[in-house]
Each structure stands twice: as C-alpha cells, then as structure tokens.
Structure 1
Amino acid sequence: MTRRQITHLVCTAAVVASGLGAAAPADHRTAHQVLRIHRVQPGESIQQAVDAARPGDTVVLSPGTYHESVRITVSDLTLRGSLAGPAVIVPGPAATAVAGADGTCAAAGNGICVNGTRSSPVKRVTLRSLTIRGFAKNGLWASWTDRLKVQDVISEKNGQWGIAQERSVRGVFTRNTAERNGDAGLFVANTVDREDGAQDSKGTVISHNRLAGNRIGVTVRRLRNLTVERNEATGNCAAVFVVGDEGTPRAGAMTVRRNHIHANNKLCPKTPRLPFLQGSGIVLTGTEKTLVTKNRVEDNVGASPLSGGIVLFKSFVGAPNESNEIRDNVVLRNSTADLADRDTGRNNTFRGNTCGVSEPAGLC
C-alpha cells in the first residue's frame, strides 16, 4: 500500500455518527471493534486497497480516473466514490492488467468483479457512486453473492452487460444508470454457463434505475421471486425481457410494476436466439405467475415479432407463458400493438389496462 492509502482506525459508533463509510451490521461487529477506511488517489491501486481490506472496511476513491479492473472476494466490503466528484474506472494497459492481482477479472474483460463460490458466497458487498466505462465485456460482473448492493453506479459503453449478476440472492440494484452497453444494461440470471431451472432470487430488487441506449434495458433470466419497479427505460431496442423456458422450476413468480417505458426504438440485428429487436416494451417469454401492473408503456414502435407495448411470446425453445396477470397498465401508441398475446399459453389474463390496439382484439 502506498503512503496515500492511509488506513484510518475509527470506532464504529464514531463512523456512523460522522456519516463516513458504511458500518457492518450489528451482528458482525461490537462497539469495541474498529472499521477501517482505505483512501485511494488516481494513480494508486484500487486492487491493492481491496486486497488489504478486512470485512467491514470501506475503500473510498477520490475523484479522477482509474485504469484497472478490480476483483472483490471479501464480504462486508464497501467500494465507493467520494462526495467531491466522480470516480471513473476504465480499462488499464492489457499487460499489467492481466498480470496483476486483478488478473482474473481483467483477463475476462470486466471492470469490477464480485466473486464468491457455491460453498462460500460473498456477502453484503456494497458498490456506490462509481462510473465503470468501456470494458470489453461487462462493467460489473457478480457471481455467488448474497445481498450485493449496487447504488448510484453509472455503467456505460461496455461490450456486453453494464451491470450483471448470476448465482446470487437478495441483490439490490437501485438508482443506477446503464447506457449504451452491447447487450443488457442490467442483467440478472440463475446461471450463464449451463441450462438449468429457475432459481429463487429470494427477493432481489431492481428499482429506480435509468436504462438507455442498450440492446435490452433489463433482462431477468430464469429467476423467481424478484421485483422490477420504478425504472425508466428509453432508447433501447427492447426495454424489459423476462425470460424463461421449459426448465423446472419455471421462471416467474415476480412483479414488474410502475416502470416508465417509452420510445425503445433502436434497431438491433437478430441473434441465434432472437429475431431482430425494435420497439419492444415489456416482453414475457416462457414465464409463469408474473404480475405486470401499473406500468406506463408508450411509443415503442417496430416491426419485429417481439414489437409492441406488453408482449407475451413463446420462449426460444417453445415454452409457453402461463398464468401471468397483466393489469392496470397505461399502454399507448405502441406498434404493432399495445397489448399482444402471441403465445399459446393458458390462463394469462389482461384486465383494467388503458390501451388502443391489441392482438388479438379485445384485450384492451
């Protein structure tokens, strides 16, 4: 650690009183234990400060640009920018990035990685007030985490996902901005490296985020017990994808509510799994028992099979949507329809929605 990476020893009570850092939960520290704050300046190593941290510590980045990737494997850690100005994390020189302590994360093309294991998940990590920009793969990549909290983070111009998480539970993603990422701005899934049944996310929340100019604003893939609420999505090819398949348990049992989804009219080419995308608001594929309510979905226009305001569509492997409830939404000026049930699934209901055109007719 360099001279400027000063470690401050402060009583937990004093830290709370002064508003500095983030004290660990009461069941992890006593009044006589200490919390350390590691301060990093531009030109110094974030990874070195993270490696020196113990559970309960906070790493604070001074305003400026940091050329590196960062890997977090310790629980109860906070990594945040200061109140004085933005802290921006961008790719470092390829040779030093791969050779350094952050090699696993950097070599994969990611900006920040939070990595636990099946037997030892990383718990209660907080990332706050950071900008992550220009990484070849993902801005933030998290795997095997519990209670990961991501707040006031800007993740932009990354090659795949802006903020992404798999194999994790009880995550909170709020007040973030994900813009101009190659795939989803915000992506949460059961797992990305094999086919598997949906996982219980145990109450993961995605709220108050802004998602703009991505291929897809939010993708929720093969999960259950999750809430997507009060987000704004605009300028994407598609705003919200809730994705399932024939796996057991099935994806679903979640809520999508009070989101503002408008003018997601960017054109994206087809992929091996999906047709071209343009003008899609909320799309449900292969999911069950999901409530879509009190959203405002406007001006999403395209000619893709998935275009429209709120669309039910069979999954890539042909699994139908079943027992989903679409109610009390305002869905206007979308094309080719405001509400579209292009599926053969059973017991999907539409009621109380304000809309103009539906497929088939009679859903408005």
Structure 2
Amino acid sequence: MVKFHIAYLACTAAIIGAAFGAAPPVGADPMIHVVFPGESIQKVVDAAEPGDTVLLTAGTYRESVNVSTSGITLRGMGPSTVIEPGTKKDANRCAEEGNGICVVGTKDRNVEGVTVASLTVTGFASTGVFAQATDGLTVRNVTAVKNGVWGIAQERSVRGVFRKNTARDNGDAGLFLANTIKAEEGAANTEGAVVERNRLEGNRIGITVRRLRNLTVANNHLTGNCAGVFVVGDENKPRAGALTVRDNHIARNNKSCPKTARLDALQGSGIVLTGAEDTLVTRNLIMGNVGASRLSGGIVLFKSLVGTTSERNRITGNVLVGNAPADLVNTDTGEGNTFEGNSCQASMPAGLC
C-alpha cells in the first residue's frame, strides 16, 4: 500500500512536470489539482480556488463541466485528453443544455480570468465549449470536433482570447461570438476580444461574429466550411462593426449547406459582411471559394435579412484568386464602402478590382 502511494505521487509529479516544466514547491500557492480518467472533473473544479489549475491527464472523461470560479485554469495534456457526453445521473446544467465545458457568470457578475486549454471536446448536442458573462476568458489549444451546433461559443462577454484552437465538423460555426444568442439587441463592445491562429474546417461557418464591436479576427486558417467568416449585424443600435478581419487564409470553403430560417443556403463564401459598419478587411488571402448562393464569392457585402445595409467598411490590400461568381461581390446599397488596393481578377459589379 505504501509503495503504491509513493508510485502514485511520483506519477503525479511527473505529469505536472511534463505539463508545466517543473513541479511547484511543496505548499506553494496556487495549487495544481490532478485528475485521472474515471474521476470527477466537476468535483475538483468545485473545490478549486482562484489561481488554481485543474490538470486533466490523458484519457477520456464522460461528463460536462461547469466553471463558475474566477481565475482557475482547466487544462488537459493535449488532444489525448478527451471530454465526451456523460450519463444522465451525472448531469448538471451544462450537460442539460447539451454543452461540454461551460464557463458561466451571472447577470450581475462576470466570471473573470478563466483559461480552458489543451484538450478535446467532442460529440455534444450543442456546444463543445460555451461561455457566457465572462471577462478575460482564454480558450487555447482546444480541439472541438463534431458538436451539434458550435465548436466554441461565447456570448455577453468581454476581452476574450481564442487562440490556436481547432474546430472541425461542427453543426453550425466552429467559433461563434455574439452579444446574446436569444434576444434581439444592438451590438455589444467586446473591449478588444481576439480570435487568432485558429484552424476551422468542415463546419457550416468557420467563424461567426454576430452583433459585436471592437474585436480582431486574425491569422486564422479556414477551409472546407460552407462559409469562412461571417460578420453579422442588423437594424438594432449600436450597429455591428468597428472590428478588423486581417491576415487570414480562407481557401475552398465549398461545402454545401441548405437554407435555414435565418440564412440563405451557403456554399463558396470567403468573408461575408451583412448589416455591418466601419469594419476593416485587409491582407487576407482568399482562394477558390466557389458557389451559386447569393452569398458566394471571395469577399461579399450583402444586406442583412431585415434589409439593413452595410456602411463605411474598408476592403483593402487583400489577395483574391479563383473565387466565384467573383472575387469581390457588392450587392449592398449602403454608403461609404470602399474597395482599394486588392489583388483580384473579377468583381460584381465590375470595377472593384
């Protein structure tokens, strides 16, 4: 029994050392809580305090996890740490809503400074990682695969960072950021949210930014989706926009997706702005996005579903090759939209290249 305990501690120390470079001194604060397959992640998360790390070893965990404590890190050992749906007897609110990991504050208090990193979430009916009412959430090196709606989603939050994630074959968007999902409201200020260096493949839409302002979508790789990037607004005030979409590689998003109650059929859309204002789209490489939808093309400006125009958007310095029906498509009648310095071959109407 003594030998087993010593071996267990040695194994735990080795795991911590591999994950963080070295084990912290005995009694150091904050603490690292190590979880092994078959143990409850939720129990350990509930016991963690701000600054603590909950470290999940490699293996499969069948449960949903709700995080409501500020300042904690939930971290795996990489893609081999897998979170899948659990049984009904283990269900919490996160599970009941069909999500894998939930980071959720309250109406009056955001959850602050939480990190979710280095793990896989797969097979959930709704969302792999879902966040609401957060401040400074970081989601990095997460693989979100084959979830029913979104791979990684956040609403009503500020200063989020989404970096180096992979979202593949999810039912709707790989990455979905919104003011609020259920209510019809004006755009919210994210106070500088960042979506960068993610890989989005095989989803309905790679990245959706819905009714938000003041964020950056940069250096992402999007391929094999029905559409690459959607910036979505409407008639509510303030308008969506005042954001930057730059330095993304958007290629062959030619999967075909049928029409829904909210959106036309999709195929071959690179970047779409609909009902947005004051957005900078620059230095993107957009290649081979081909389709017959009204939203098909390399970079597309399109009225929102309620007829709201896009205004004062700047499309500049992009490289577009082999997109159809055209590299640049502007069917919007909004004022102040400019197309300058783009390298492209065809546009609708003519003269935008």
Q: Output the TM-score relative to the length of structure 2.
A: 0.93
| CA–CA separation in structure 2 for the residues paired with 1:204 and 1:40 | 31
Contact 1:138 1:160 in 2 (8 A): yes
Select 2:40's aligned residue among 27, 45, 53: 45
Select 1:260's aligned residue among 230, 249, 264: 249
1:151 matched to 2:102? The reply is: no
Alpha-carbon distance change, 21 to 247 in structure 1, aligned in 2, over 3 angstroms:
farther
Aligned partner of 1:310 in structure 2 is 299
| CA–CA separation in structure 2 for the residues paired with 1:152 and 1:131 | 9
Cα deviation code 1:37-61 (max 9, x no counterpart): 1100000111011011011100000
| CA–CA separation in structure 2 for the residues paired with 1:112 and 1:106 | 9
Structure 1 residues not aligned, in runs of 5+? 23-31
Q: Quick one: which amino acid aligns to residue 40 of structure 1?
A: V
| CA–CA separation in structure 1 for the residues paired with 2:282 and 2:264 | 26
Aligned length: 338
Q: Output the TM-score relative to the length of structure 1.
A: 0.90
CA offset at residue 82 of structure 1?
Answer: 2.6
Alpha-carbon distance change, 344 to 49 in structure 1, aligned in 2, over 3 angstroms:
same
Cα deviation code 1:108-157 (max 9, x no counterpart): 11000001013111000001101000001100110000000000000010
CA offset at residue 97 of structure 1?
Answer: 2.8
CA offset at residue 274 of structure 1?
Answer: 1.1
Cα deviation code 1:3-53 (max 9, x no counterpart): 9998xxx9xxxx9xx64699xxxxxxxxx9721111000001110110110
| CA–CA separation in structure 2 for the residues paired with 1:179 and 1:315 | 27
1:96 matched to 2:85? The reply is: no
Alpha-carbon distance change, 292 to 162 in structure 1, aligned in 2, over 3 angstroms:
same
1:62 matched to 2:62? The reply is: no
| CA–CA separation in structure 1 for the residues paired with 2:185 and 2:8 | 44
Aligned partner of 2:110 in structure 1 is 121
CA offset at residue 222 of structure 1?
Answer: 0.3
Aligned partner of 1:211 in structure 2 is 200
| CA–CA separation in structure 2 for the residues paired with 1:281 and 1:79 | 33
| CA–CA separation in structure 2 for the residues paired with 1:76 and 1:333 | 46
| CA–CA separation in structure 2 for the residues paired with 1:277 and 1:171 | 28
Helix, strand or coil at the partner of 1:153: strand
Q: Quick one: which amino acid aligns to residue 194 of structure 2?
A: V
CA offset at residue 247 of structure 1?
Answer: 0.8
Q: Quick one: which amino acid aligns to residue 72 of structure 1?
A: V
| CA–CA separation in structure 1 for the residues paired with 2:89 and 2:62 | 10
Matches within 5 A, 1:169-318: 169-318=158-307
Helix, strand or coil at the partner of 1:50: helix
Q: Segments of 4+ in structure 1 off by > 3 A?
A: 3-6, 18-22
| CA–CA separation in structure 2 for the residues paired with 1:193 and 1:61 | 33
CA offset at residue 283 of structure 1?
Answer: 0.1
| CA–CA separation in structure 1 for the residues paired with 2:77 and 2:314 | 43
CA offset at residue 264 of structure 1?
Answer: 0.2
Contact 1:234 1:263 in 2 (8 A): yes
Q: Quick one: which amino acid aligns to residue 179 of structure 2?
A: N
